[in-house]
Structure 1
Amino acid sequence: MGGRSKPMELILGKKFKLAVWELIIPTMREGEVAAFTCDVKHTALYPLVSQSLRNISAGKDPLEGQRHCCGIAQIHSHHSLGHCDLDKLQANPQPLVFTLELLEVLVPGSFRLDIWAMTDEEKLKVVPQIHEEGNALYKKGNTKEAAEKYHNAIACLKNLQMKERPGDEGWISLDQMITPLLLNYCQCQLIQGQYYEVLEHCSSLIFKYEDNVKAYFKRAKAHAAVWNEAEARADFAKVVEMDPSLGPSVAKELRAMEERIRAKEKEEKGRFKTLFSYDGNAPATATTG
C-alpha cells in the first residue's frame, strides 16, 4: 500500500492492539509462511490496526483518527475509519484468516525502532542521530535520502510538539529544534526542484521567525526558480539587509536569475517571431461565404 510500503515490524512486548499476533508469531520459524484462523474475539480490533498500517504506508501518523478514545471505545463508536471495507468490518466483526510470513527475527538492541513505536524519550534521543545521518548523506550528494532523514527527525519532534501547548516553553524549545532541520530539508528540496514546497516551508518559518536570514535566502532562490522576479528581489534585498556579508552570494544569485530571464525572453521572442512571420512567396487564399 502506498509509496512507503515495507515489511511490517512487530515488536513483542509493546502491547500490540492485535494481541493474538503476539501469540501466533512466536510459533513460527524464520522464513515460514503460515495461515492462522482467528475467532471474532481475537479480531475485533483489526480494523483499527489495519487503519494504522495504512496510515504508516501513506506516510501519515499511525494514530491519526484514534486520538480521543481507546480501541474498545472506538469499536462502539460510529466514526468512520476512512476506508469502506474497515467500516463494514468494524460494524460487523468476522472471523479472519491471517496469512503471515516471518522474514527476520532481530534481538533487542540490534535495530532502530520506527518513530511511531518509540517513547517520547526515545524520540528526543534519536533526533540528533538522524540529523547527523542526514548531514552525512547530504555531503555525499544523496539529497533525496538526506531529505528523508530530515523529514523523519522533524516528524519525531512534531509528534512531541503536539503534546505541548503552542507558545509554551516546551513547544518553543521543540520548534527551535525543528527549524534547522526544516531548513536542511528545504535545501534538499531546492536541489531536487521542489520549489513550491520550499516556498511554503520557508514562508511558514519567516512568519514565526522574521529574522531568519536562511529562510529568506532559500525562499528567494525558490522564487527565482519559478520566475517570481519581484518576490525574489525583495527577499534577496532582505538577506543583504540582515547579513551584509552575504552580499557577494546574493549578487551571484541575482546575476544567475537575470541571465535566465534574458534567455527566456530571447526564446519567447524567437517563438513569436516564427509564429507571426510572413512568407511573401506563399500562395494567397481566400474564403467566401
Structure 2
Amino acid sequence: MDQTLMLGVEGVQKTILHGGSSEMPRFITGTKVTFHFRTQLCDDERTVLDDSKTVGVPMEVVIGNMFKLEVWETLLTSMRPGEVAQFWCDVTHTGMYPMVAKSLRRIAEGKDPVDWHIHTCGMANMFAYHSLGYPDLDLLQKEPKPLYFVLELLKVEQPSEYNRESWALSDEERLKVVPLLHGQGNKLFKLGRYQDASNKYKEAIICIKNIQIKEKAWEAPWLKLEKMGHTLTLNYCQCLMRSEEYYEVIEHTTDIINQHPGVMKAYYVRAKAHVEVWNEAEAHTDFQKVLDLDPGMKKAVRKELQVLNMRMEEKREEDRQKYKGMF
C-alpha cells in the first residue's frame, strides 16, 4: 500500500507504507503508544539520523504528556496498530528533534538522558552555543531542516492497561510521587541498600527538574522546587559517599553552592568528601563555612576535624614509608 494523505496539519504529509490490521484505537490522555521510528534527512540519499530498530528498543510516548516533539503525537494518533507510515514534516515541526534525539541516543548508550545536576544561567543559555555532543545533531540544531519520520505502530495501551512509571506522569502526578520516592529512598538507605536508594532519589530529582523547567527561574514556584531538589541531591550524595564516589559528591555539592551559597548542608557534605580524598585545605574551608552558617554544628565539625587530622596523619605516614628508600 502506498497512499499519500494530508492530516489537516500544515507542514505534514503522510504516506502509508503498510496498512494496520485492526480497528482505529482510542487515543486519550494517558494512552501509551509503543512504536519504532526511523528519522531521515530530506536529501537525495535519505540519510538516516536515527533508527530505533538498529538500537533494538522501541520508543514509548504517553499521549497528552507534553512530549517535547509534539508533532509525533499528531502522527501516531493517525495510525492503527501494525501500520507503517512515512511522514514528511517541515521545519515548523522539527526544531526540537535534535534535543529529543540527544536524549534517545544517551539512553541507548546507557547514559542518563537528563543532565539534571548541571545548573546554567538562563541568560547564558540564551546567548551561548552548547554542543549536543553529536556533530550531526549540532548541524541540525544550527540549521533546522524538514525531516522524514518512518513510524511503525506496535502497540496502543489505555491508561488502565499498564503500570505508569514516573516519566509517564503529568506534572501534577509527578509532584505527588516525589515525596513517595523520597520516603522510599530513605527507607532503602536505612536498610543499607544504597544503590536502590540512589535510584529512588535520582528518579525524584528528574521528576522535579521536568516540572521546574516549565517555571520562571527564581520566582516562588521555581525556588520551592529548587529547594526540594537540593534535599534530594544531598541525599543522593550520601549514597555516593557510601559507594566511595567522592569526586562526584564534590561536583554535585559544588553545583548547589555556586547557585545557592547559603545551603549549609552542601558545605558539610562537600567537606566530608574532601576529607575522604585528602583535600585538607578545602575541607577546613568548608567546615569553617558550616560554622559560619550554623554555629550549632560546632560539635559535629569538631568530630569531623578529628577524623581529618587522623586521616592526614595516616596519609603522611604512608607517604613516608613509600618514599623512605628513594633518597
- How high is the TM-score relative to the length of structure 2? 0.59
Conserved in 1, the CA contact under 8 Å of 2:114 and 2:206?
Answer: no
Looking at structure 1, the residues matched to 178 and 303 of structure 2 have their Cα atoms a distance apart, in angstroms, of 35
- How high is the TM-score relative to the length of structure 1? 0.65
Conserved in 2, the CA contact under 8 Å of 1:182 and 1:201?
Answer: yes
Identity of aligned residues (%): 34
Is there any run of 5+ residues in structure 2 with no aligned partner, and where?
1-49, 51-55, 116-130
Q: How far 1:220 moved relative to its partner? A: 0.9
- Over residues 175-201 of structure 1, what are the superposed CA-to-partner deviations in whole Å (9 max), with x where a residue is unaligned? 222221121122122222232332233
Looking at structure 1, the residues matched to 179 and 254 of structure 2 have their Cα atoms a distance apart, in angstroms, of 25
Q: In structure 1, the residue corresponding to 2:61 is in which secondary structure? A: coil
Conserved in 1, the CA contact under 8 Å of 2:81 and 2:153?
Answer: no
**Counterparts of residues 149-164 of structure 1 (less than 5 Å):** 149-164=200-215
- Count residues with an aligned counterpart: 245
Is there any run of 5+ residues in structure 1 with no aligned partner, and where?
29-34, 62-79, 277-289
- Over residues 3-37 of structure 1, what are the superposed CA-to-partner deviations in whole Å (9 max), with x where a residue is unaligned? xx96532335668633444454x535xxxxxx835
Alignment partner for residue 108 of structure 1, among 137, 141, 160?
160
- Over residues 130-181 of structure 1, what are the superposed CA-to-partner deviations in whole Å (9 max), with x where a residue is unaligned? 2222222222222223223222322222333333333322222222222211
Looking at structure 2, the residues matched to 151 and 52 of structure 1 have their Cα atoms a distance apart, in angstroms, of 20
| Greater fraction of residues in strand | 2
How much is the aligned-residue C-alpha RMSD, in angstroms? Answer: 4.0
Conserved in 2, the CA contact under 8 Å of 1:17 and 1:49?
Answer: no
In structure 2, the partner of 1:60 is 114
Cα 1:218–1:157 change in 2 (3 A) is same
Conserved in 1, the CA contact under 8 Å of 2:208 and 2:225?
Answer: yes
Q: How far 1:229 moved relative to its partner? A: 0.6
Q: Which runs of 4+ in 1 moved over 4 A?
A: 12-16, 39-42, 44-51, 80-83, 90-94, 96-102, 104-107, 207-211
Higher RCO structure, 1 or 2 (CA under 8 Å, sep 6+)? 2
Conserved in 1, the CA contact under 8 Å of 2:202 and 2:236?
Answer: yes
Q: Flag the structure with larger Rg.
A: 1
Q: In structure 1, the residue corresponding to 2:244 is in which secondary structure? A: coil
Q: How far 1:232 moved relative to its partner? A: 1.0
- Over residues 232-256 of structure 1, what are the superposed CA-to-partner deviations in whole Å (9 max), with x where a residue is unaligned? 1232244355243551x43333233
Alignment partner for residue 313 of structure 2, among 243, 262, 275?
262
Looking at structure 2, the residues matched to 83 and 21 of structure 1 have their Cα atoms a distance apart, in angstroms, of 28
In structure 2, the partner of 1:125 is 176
| Greater fraction of residues in helix | 1
Alignment partner for residue 84 of structure 2, among 36, 51, 56?
36
Q: How far 1:221 moved relative to its partner? A: 0.4
In structure 1, the partner of 2:302 is 251
Looking at structure 2, the residues matched to 187 and 161 of structure 1 have their Cα atoms a distance apart, in angstroms, of 23
